[in-house]
Structure 1
Amino acid sequence: MTPGLTVGQALVQATRRLAAAGVEGASRDARWLLAWALGTPPERLTLALPEPMTSDTAARFDIAIARRVTHEPVSHITGRRLFWGREFAVDRDVLDPRPETEVLVELALAEPFERVLDLGTGTGCILVTLLAERPEAIGTGTDISAAARSHAWGNAVRHRVSDRVEILASDWFRPLDDRGIAGRFDLVVSNPPYIAAAEMAGLSRDVREHEPRLALTDEGDGLSAYRAIAAGVEKVLAPGGRVLVEIGPAQARAVAAMFRQAGLDDVAVHPDLDGRDRVVSGRG
């Protein structure tokens, strides 16, 4: 970063640098990172544009831009991601929460629930959000990744729901089967790895190179997690309980068929805001 710049000049310089590196949304990302470096809300950044950059802020911003040039996600650089109006701690060990997943949360909140199970909880963004929105509910999150479980617990503490949550090491329903949870949950949710191994090369560099592969793909056809969920979910669902899973846009028919074959009722497919199939639901 050139010494002696104003905040506005630094922003212009950084935007050009990101654009030259082929970063999509270069202007947006430069503004987010500059606001973060300044420690100011993004919506107030315009007020700071005429001010001179301090050496500390310039150094912090320069490092952030250098990381973004390598296509490291903005959320990994800042260590946080906004989801359903709350900030969640993130890094390269967990899947970055995405706006599409809020469709699943909206559907989950459309009916009352008392006990929720989040399979493959990752950051805990789904589970923590549901508990924060429903103060009377309690929940369990599972993940095979120790790093993900640590993030989920930290985010539960951050949003003051840790007294109503447990985070367990589990590969889908194992070892939940040994904990006496049959018929316990009236809501089961999951955003599992659904990218087929053959599709990984086509993902953006931001995702392919910086997000945990374990959270992205099953190293197969992208449907393994749904097979496991369909096979085991009725054991943990309370009578009339619901299951909601996020899917890839081309997976609705296959996942809905699995749910019906597993004996679930009221199986339905729900679109996201762009009209793409995003969630499959069923009822025990």
Structure 2
Amino acid sequence: MNCENTIEAVLKQASLDIAASGSQSGTLDAAVLLCHVLDKPRSYLLTWPERALSDSEWQSFSQLLARRVSGEPVAYITGEREFWSLNLSVAPSTLIPRPDTERLVELALDKATTLDGDILDLGTGTGAIALALASELPQRQLFGVDFQHSAVELATNNAAKLKISNARFVQGSWFEPIDSGQQFAVIVSNPPYIDKKDPHLAQGDVRFEPSTALVAENKGLADIELISKQSVDYLSQGGWLLFEHGFEQGESVRDILLTQGFDNVMTEQDYAGNDRVTLGQWNNVSQ
């Protein structure tokens, strides 16, 4: 990249390079990477646009830029991502927390405030959902489950870094590590829901994310079906089950919950107006 090494010039060229690689957020990506190298906030870039990068800063930025141009997600490059105003550490072993998932948190919070009891997050990954809920509900206990040991370790470290003490993370497959008879007011999950034939798996950031956290059998619905079936043994009277899912899966997920006997089944949209979260209430607990 042949240009002056001022912040302004570097950002301009890097934005073009990233955009040319296919990213729709070249300007933002370049700024985040440069802030990471300089260890400065975004405001610094605007305040000191004429400041020249040192040789070591330029070399570090060039290396990160090359990774982004190759398609690697910014969050994996920097090792962090903000979610629900929480600065989370991320790793290639987990999904990158996305803004759409904050809608799932909002709805889970809304339901949790109507009931007493613990809350369970299945497939917790970085711990994003559980930690967001725990930060808003400090008097409630949050449990997060993930099949990957590395994800449990990462989520636990995120909780410690954020000084969130009411969230605990355990390893296992869905309900496997949960004690029999333990009841939850809310069970929330952002499970794998992409069909293995979906062309989007070969595009964008998801190329770098773990397929085990993305892909499910039966057109992406297998894990949602399994969780729905097993959840009835762990939901308290009037408890809620909430799923994030693909934008074309709303009807299918509603059918799954209705077939399982859930009441008040509904699908809510994300900030872009797409079907994104389906939830239902369990009122059939044996007395």
TM-score (norm 1): 0.93
Unaligned runs of 5+ in 2: 283-287
Partner of 2:173: 171
Q: CA deviation at 1:250?
A: 0.9
Per-residue displacement from partner, 1:87-137 (whole Å, max 9, x unpaired)? 111121100001110001011111315310001101110001100111101
Q: Distance in 2 between matches of 1:219 and 1:262?
A: 19
- Native 8 Å contact 1:271 1:278 kept in 2: yes
Q: CA deviation at 1:192?
A: 0.3
Q: CA deviation at 1:159?
A: 1.7
Per-residue displacement from partner, 1:159-192 (whole Å, max 9, x unpaired)? 222x32221222112243xx2344x110100000
- Native 8 Å contact 2:201 2:207 kept in 1: no
**What letter is aligned with 1:166?**
R
Pairing partner for 1:148 from 144, 148, 151: 151
* 2:31 equivalent to 1:40: no
Partner of 2:136: 133
Q: Distance in 2 between matches of 1:19 and 1:226?
A: 36
Partner of 1:101: 101
Per-residue displacement from partner, 1:38-65 (whole Å, max 9, x unpaired)? 1111133111211111122112211110
Unaligned runs of 5+ in 1: none
Q: CA deviation at 1:2?
A: 5.0
Q: CA deviation at 1:81?
A: 0.6
- Native 8 Å contact 1:19 1:26 kept in 2: yes
Partner of 2:187: 188
- Native 8 Å contact 2:170 2:177 kept in 1: no
Q: CA deviation at 1:219?
A: 4.5
* 2:122 equivalent to 1:119: yes
**What letter is aligned with 2:263?**
D
Q: How does 1:177-216 map to 2 (within 5 A)?
A: 179-182=179-182, 184-199=183-198, 201-203=199-201, 205-216=203-214
Q: CA RMSD in A?
A: 1.6
**What letter is aligned with 1:191?**
N
- After alignment, is 31-40 or 202-211 more displaced? 202-211
TM-score (norm 2): 0.92
- After alignment, is 221-230 or 105-114 more displaced? 105-114
- Native 8 Å contact 1:186 1:240 kept in 2: yes
Q: Distance in 2 between matches of 1:26 and 1:80?
A: 18
Q: Distance in 1 between matches of 2:274 and 2:174?
A: 26
**What letter is aligned with 2:44?**
R
**What letter is aligned with 1:226?**
I
**Dislocated runs of 4+, deviation >4 Å:** 1-4
| Secondary structure of the corresponding residue to residue 270 of structure 1 | strand
Q: Distance in 2 between matches of 1:248 and 1:215?
A: 14
